Amino acid sequence: MPRDDQAEVETARRATDRLALVLEDLGFDVGQEFPGLHDVIDRRGVAVVRLGDVMPAIAERLAEVLSGLRG
């Protein structure tokens, strides 16, 4: 894997870990409420972070938290 691609993979991995920790700090049960949260190389070969399927009530809670952070 080229060095730039490897860096992107590591960035996606770190971002996924950070996102999981922040969600936990905000009171979400990541294992239950975001079971599909993971990093992956997509079909185009691009490193991405996927949240997975999220129940509507959880998405609403997340939107409320993010809206509150925005001010």
- Please name which of 50, 59, 62, 56 lies closest in space to residue 22, comparing C-alpha atoms: 62
Model confidence at 70: pLDDT above 80: no
pLDDT 10s digits, 9-42: 999 999 999 999 999 999 999 999 999 999 999 9
Q: What is the pTM of this model?
A: 0.84
Contacts of 20 (CB under 8 A, 6+ apart): 30, 34, 37
3-state DSSP assignment of residue 28: coil
